[in-house]
Structure 1
């Protein structure tokens, strides 16, 4: 029974993450400058209840998300994505 309880808990956590992900996307659409200035010309919007951030670039009216970065992971693993975009 313990196994089934952990599956149910995992499903609830996944659903909560999905709701927060969609809520954060909606916030960025409404107010793209809501994120804090970050490195290499990016901005960072921290999720309210999970240890994740959107790392994005806002150029004119185009918002490009380069990473959904976990706070425990190497904080700059996504930098090559931004640099490649600048090299084009």
Structure 2
């Protein structure tokens, strides 16, 4: 089974987004996290279906929220580089490196 790892910045992004949605409406933060989990399941089952954004990175768009998951497909894992709002500056995450 393919594992999923998050860069620290990507984890911060999805946690902040979930908090934002929960403040707007009770339960909406959980729905955001559920949608993110569904997207990650699609990525792990078919990682090559994401849109190519750089030589090493792909993107899948969440179906119900304006966010994209930017990820690298490594041999036995998926590395999430960003959970990016679609209105944020494109490519802001390109300088991120694994620690």
Which TM-score applies when normalising by structure 2? 0.67
Structure 1's consecutive aligned runs of 4 or more residues displaced over 6 angstroms after TM superposition are none
Q: Which residue of 2 aligns with 1:52?
A: 67
Stretches of structure 2 that go unaligned for 5 or more consecutive residues are 1-21
Aligned equivalent of 1:33: 48
**Unmatched 5+ stretches in structure 1:** 1-6
How big is each residue's C-alpha offset from its partner over 1:7-34, in whole Å with a ceiling of 9 and x where there is no partner?
A: 7861232121111011111111111112
- Higher relative CO (CA 8 A, sep ≥ 6), structure 1 or 2? 2
Max Rg structure: 1
RMSD: 2.2
3-state SS of the aligned residue for 1:11? coil
Deviations 1:27-57 (A, max 9, x none): 1111111211112521001111111011011
